[in-house]
Amino acid sequence: MKILKYIPYLVVMGMLAVAVFCVRRAPAMAVLEAPAVRVSLPERVGEWTGEELSYCQNERCMRSMPSSELSGGKVCPSCGGEMVATWSLSERQLLPANTVLVRKLYRCGSRPALSVSIVISSSEEVSIHRPQMCLTGQGYDIAGEETHAIPLMGHGPLQVRIINLFRRQQVGENRLTEIPVFYAYWFVSQRHETPSSAWRIFYATRDRVLYGRVSRWAYISIAGERARGIAMPDQTLRAFVQDLYPRIILKEKL
């Protein structure tokens, strides 16, 4: 039937009509919400002690190291480039100027260190994106990913997305080795909490169009090494998240 070839056009026209209707009903000025997290990370999380990371701004080096190892200096010991606290070169180049970023490296005895970051979006909402895009671009191989529920005191289970990865590392002149690592993350705003990038975009778009609210989302991530053949989360990560959550989230109830 001839009418069938016009169906895609009718669908597009219908979507445009709905969009125009929503925009006309939206408040004239969107209100930027306050973030739902603290703009800092605690010095201690349970038995773990945190310190700032610094990053070499030389694009041929880009080394990261705990700020304490610089002894107050701002020069990369490997290449002589400038070292900057918290921000890597690519983050400074790509993220909007009013993006908030806090990061610490947490250590506990002989356990592998955990790197914790909080990115708080600007009003442009381009500060936050799917981490899978960056991880593969940085040379990581994704071995698998799942959403896990981590029990929290006085709160429903926290849904956290966990990616199991392998990081390629040079060993000697002609050999590469793969180090198993993990990357855990979730998103939170004043009204929503989700491990899904798609749902975050849906909530943000709905709040802006229908309610005139710019949701200032926070993107919380935890990364570290994992035992070979073991998929995260293990008990160490669960306990760390349970201790960290009440120290960074400002809202009592979602």
Residue positions counted in the chain:
254
Determine the pLDDT at residue 167: 77
Per-residue pLDDT at 196:
93
Question: What integer pLDDT is reported at residue 213 of this predicted model?
Answer: 82
Average predicted confidence (pLDDT) for the chain? 82
HSE toward the beta carbon, residue 207, CA cutoff 13 A: 20
Q: DSSP states of 99-149 as a string?
A: -EEEEEEEE-TTSPPEEEEEEE--TTS-S---HHHHHHHTTEEEEEEEEEE
179: which DSSP letter? E
Q: How many CB atoms lie within 10 A of CB 213?
A: 19
**Chunked in runs of 10, what are the mean pLDDT values of the chain (254 residues)?**
55 57 55 85 95 88 83 82 85 82 94 93 72 73 89 91 82 73 93 92 87 88 85 84 94 52
Q: Note the pLDDT of residue 73.
A: 75
Beta strand spans in the chain (E): 31-32, 44-45, 48-51, 53-56, 64-66, 83-85, 100-107, 114-120, 140-152, 155-171, 175-188, 193-194, 213-214, 218-225
pLDDT of residue 155: 85
pLDDT in tens, 48-102: 999 998 888 888 887 888 888 887 778 888 888 888 888 888 788 778 878 899 9
Neighbours of 23 (CB within 10 A): 9
pLDDT of residue 9: 53
And the tokens for 27?
Answer: 């408040």
